[in-house]
Structure 1
Amino acid sequence: MTTTTLLRAGLALALALPAAAFAADVPQSFTATYQVLKDGGPLGEATITLKPAGSGQFEYSNETKGTSGLAAMLGANVSETSRFTWAGQVPQAVSYHYEMQAAIKSKTRNLTVQGRNVQVQDNKKSFSYPAVPGMVERNTLPLALGVALRSGRKEVALPVAVKQEVENQTFKVSATEKVSVPAGSFDAVRVDRTDADRGFNAWYVPSKYPVPVKLAQKDGGDLTMELVKFEGK
């Protein structure tokens, strides 16, 4: 899919109906708690929160704290905060802030959509590239997939704003599998990324939750998130 095709599709989505028209079809607020594992062992806990932020925007945050092993010893904490607007059923990016703090290392990244451009500040490096309507970023990507699955989609293509460009990422439902996590046992659909071998797998129960009950990612380490508790709409 070309950038031009994505631009037209995203623009059509944004103009077809105002975001408020889908207010009943998209989540408005919730809190989800996860346990985080690395290589199968406990690493920390994550809390994901969605809430209205005013002016038609929503805030989606992911706070991860190291509670075991080396992560606890180093005081490693990661904070991700996104602002977005619902463009139809897509959490269209407005801004994204990433911060990682540890005793021996820190890192920040800020992404802001300014008109037709995306501005990124990654530590001391700056990047700029064209924005695409209907574009999400890495923090809100699992939410975008969950909402798409809830509407019956089996394959999902999303423009995702990363550090230096917009990536055209594709995902599909590959199987239905029994998954056991602290929140319970579920017959979940497994979603795999199909445009690149990035080791991304997520298990969803679309009828119950807009976020995955389990997520596994090998890019940057063998990390797994398992749902402990979900509260909200």
Structure 2
Amino acid sequence: MTIRPLLAIALSFSLGAGTVAAATTPGDFTATYQVSRGGSPMGTATISLHDDGGGQWTYRKAIKGTGGLAGLLGARMDETSRFRWKGELPEAISYDYALQTGVKNRQRHLRVDWNTRQVHVEGDKGSETYPATPGIVERNTLPLALGVALQGGQQQVALAVAVRQRVETQQFRIVGKETIQVPAGSFQAERVDRTDADRGFSAWYAPQRYPLPVKLSQRDGGDITMVLVSYSER
């Protein structure tokens, strides 16, 4: 079994037509999701945002395998991001990824040194160092950064992503509205697709309600789908 973390995003937003409202960054929250792989139940995910004080925040996603091979292997994935708000963007400070199963473990650690403007990545495939770009976000905070952009009225989003070996630009845009039924309810949602590469990435947002998607589907990394079960503010 392979469980890859969600793609993440960041940098500047390109505006769609019309007036764009100022986005409001969210406060502390906890959200839960059902996770499936290839249409079969795989596990549960808990996503939380916490204000650590001093201008720093922690965003965490924990997935626990409860069905299929993930359940048999007792798979657990934990992604923890620490960031600071830079305008309406969660600018990366660090990112830690850990996957544990009954047969293998994987880890990746990313640190941004803003004094030297360098990104340092360490993982199972070795170490990398490359220049940081102001406003970068790593993969874990994709749903949050994109959701805040949509709440601010963005129609197209151009983002700088800190991946393993470099910062890459990714493009997203709203492609339409769809009625989405998930455990948390029925929503008239805005569908957002990645448009610069065929990565099979789609996310459905109700931006007037939540900064996170009510549904997310990602083909790259194992045909993973997440649907919202609950969302609460603290």
Shared fold (TM-score, shorter chain, > 0.5): yes
**2:208 counterpart SS class:** coil
Q: Give the residue type in structure 2 aligned to 1:35.
A: Q
The answer for the alignment partner of 2:153 in structure 1 is: 152
After superposition, the C-alpha distances for 1:28-86 in whole angstroms (9 at most, x for unaligned) are: 21000000011111000000000011220000000000001110110100000000000
Identity %: 56
Q: Give the residue type in structure 1 aligned to 2:53.
A: G
TM-score by length of 1: 0.89
**1:139 counterpart SS class:** helix
The equivalences for 1:67-82 within 5 A come to 67-82=66-81
**Which structure has the highest helix share of the two?**
1
The answer for the alignment partner of 1:13 in structure 2 is: none
The answer for the alignment partner of 1:25 in structure 2 is: 24
**Cα distance, 1:123 vs structure 2:** 2.0
Q: Give the residue type in structure 2 aligned to 1:112.
A: R
Measured on the aligned residues, the alpha-carbon RMSD in Å equals: 1.6
**1:134 counterpart SS class:** coil
CA distance in 2, matches of 1:202, 1:74: 28
Gaps of 5+ in 2: 1-9, 14-21
Answer 1 or 2: higher relative contact order, Cα 8 Å, separation at least 6. 2
CA distance in 1, matches of 2:198, 2:52: 35
Q: Give the residue type in structure 1 aligned to 2:105.
A: S
TM-score by length of 2: 0.89
**1:73 counterpart SS class:** helix
The answer for the alignment partner of 1:85 in structure 2 is: 84
CA distance in 2, matches of 1:94, 1:197: 29
Gaps of 5+ in 1: 1-5, 11-21
Q: Give the residue type in structure 2 aligned to 1:96.
A: Y
The answer for the alignment partner of 1:231 in structure 2 is: 232
The answer for the alignment partner of 1:169 in structure 2 is: 170
- The yes-or-no answer on 1:41 pairing with 2:34 is no
CA distance in 2, matches of 1:35, 1:25: 27
The answer for the alignment partner of 1:15 in structure 2 is: none
**Cα distance, 1:124 vs structure 2:** 5.3
CA distance in 2, matches of 1:171, 1:25: 20
Q: Give the residue type in structure 1 aligned to 2:80.
A: T
CA distance in 1, matches of 2:221, 2:33: 19
CA distance in 2, matches of 1:124, 1:38: 25
CA distance in 2, matches of 1:56, 1:28: 12
After superposition, the C-alpha distances for 1:168-192 in whole angstroms (9 at most, x for unaligned) are: 0110000100100000110000000
- The yes-or-no answer on 1:97 pairing with 2:107 is no
Q: Give the residue type in structure 1 aligned to 2:200.
A: G
CA distance in 1, matches of 2:143, 2:196: 16
The answer for the alignment partner of 2:118 in structure 1 is: 117
After superposition, the C-alpha distances for 1:82-106 in whole angstroms (9 at most, x for unaligned) are: 0000000000000000000001010
CA distance in 1, matches of 2:145, 2:66: 28
The equivalences for 1:166-205 within 5 A come to 166-205=167-206
Corresponding residue pairs, total: 215
**Cα distance, 1:161 vs structure 2:** 0.2
CA distance in 2, matches of 1:184, 1:70: 28
**Cα distance, 1:215 vs structure 2:** 0.2
Q: Give the residue type in structure 2 aligned to 1:179.
A: I
After superposition, the C-alpha distances for 1:99-139 in whole angstroms (9 at most, x for unaligned) are: 00001010000000012000000125000000000101110
After TM superposition, the runs of 4+ consecutive aligned structure 1 residues lying more than 2 A away are: none
